[in-house]
Structure 1
Amino acid sequence: MANEDISKQITAKFGNHLRSRVNGILIQDDKLLMIRHKMGNQRVFWSVPGGGMEYGAAAEENLKREFIEETGLEVAVEKYLFVHELLAPPLHAMEHFFLVRQTGGKLMLGKDPELSDRSQIIEEISWMDLKSIQSLPHDTLHQIFWGIKSLEDLVLLRGYFKFGNNYLK
């Protein structure tokens, strides 16, 4: 699918309305599980596994579903960490971050069931150490990672965070 079509697909599926999202921080052996998404216009975006909440399902159940869909891993939700408000029109989301631990499954490149097979945006799953995360250009990395000095910083974050950035540029 052409890059401009990916941007249009992302806007059509996820844009122009408020989304509630859940995201999981999974750290093992001093590495964080990260996913690279293609965003169109030759852009990529790195973040942790997660996605939109389905009506009628609790946040923990939504997060467990997202991990299986995107990574093949089964997780247990340990605790709620913080909320990040993404306001980058056409995208607007309240992103809830949780600490999780792996309980089963096998790591594999998953897919987003909201998108067709030819429109998938998940490109790569990787265990990344802090140095690898810090080496990524800021415009390809979720803002929660911009100022961290250790992976443990993510687990210590509490409260409400808001950053602006247009991921579809």
Structure 2
Amino acid sequence: MTQIVDAPRQQVVKLYGNRLRTRVCGLYRDGDRLLMVRHRGISKTDTFWCPPGGGAQFGETATDALKREFDEETGLIIDVGKLLFVNEFLEPPLHALELFFAVDAIGGELRLGSDPEMDAAGQIISEVRWMTFDEIKAYPPAEVHTLFSRCQSLDDVYRLSGYLN
């Protein structure tokens, strides 16, 4: 198992740790693939795959926050659809209530984005790519978002509803 690189983990804990955050996340599907973002400094290894998203800012609606986060992380302009489910992410020192929405791209070009809260040397977003459900499930559970442990297929992801804890 690869150990966490200290600098990204320290930056994540400094910016997001030891407080409750509200996050918005978008599930963008293309056939049998889901758009995923790889982050450094989140899990016990230097890999954590999850759908694009991030923290809502004070005074920003959830849908506006998701549009901003998608643009920052992926370069895509999206239309936000239905709220699918709420997940409580609790991996101390990180704690977030995550609102998962179905989304569709309406513009932009897919690219590796960045996190504006991080300096250039400390970026935690390291990859953006389409993944099949089998590719997602091939990673160790600690290296993918916990929502995938509740599902046996990509269709199951879209059937999740309510509050997940």
Q: TM-score category by the smaller chain?
A: over 0.9
Aligned equivalent of 1:32: 34
What code does the residue aligned with 1:108 have?
Answer: R
Taking the aligned partners of 1:117 and 1:129, their CA distance within structure 2 comes to: 30
Give the gaps of 5 or more residues in structure 2: none
What is the root-mean-square deviation in Å for CA atoms of aligned residues?
1.3
Q: Which residue of 2 aligns with 1:107?
A: 110
Give the aligned partner of residue 159 of structure 1: 162
Structure 1 segments of 4+ aligned residues over 2 angstroms from their partners: 40-43
Residue of structure 2 in register with 1:14 after alignment: 16
**Partner residue of 2:139?**
136
| Residue of structure 2 in register with 1:46 after alignment | 49
TM-score by length of 1: 0.91
**Partners of 1:93 and 1:23 in 2: how far apart?**
11
Q: Distance in 1 between matches of 2:31 and 2:89?
A: 29
1:4 corresponds to: 6
Shift of 1:42: 4.4
**Which runs of structure 2 are paired with 1:58-137 in the superposition (5 Å)?**
58-137=61-140
Structure 1 residue 114 displacement after superposition: 0.8
Deviation at 1:43, TM superposition (A): 2.3
- Determine if contact 2:9/2:40 at 8 Å carries over to the other structure: no
Please give the secondary structure, in 2, of the residue aligned with 1:43. coil
TM-score (norm 2): 0.93
Percent identity (aligned): 45
Contact 2:45 2:143 in 1 (8 A): no
Structure 1 runs not aligned, ≥5 long: 163-169
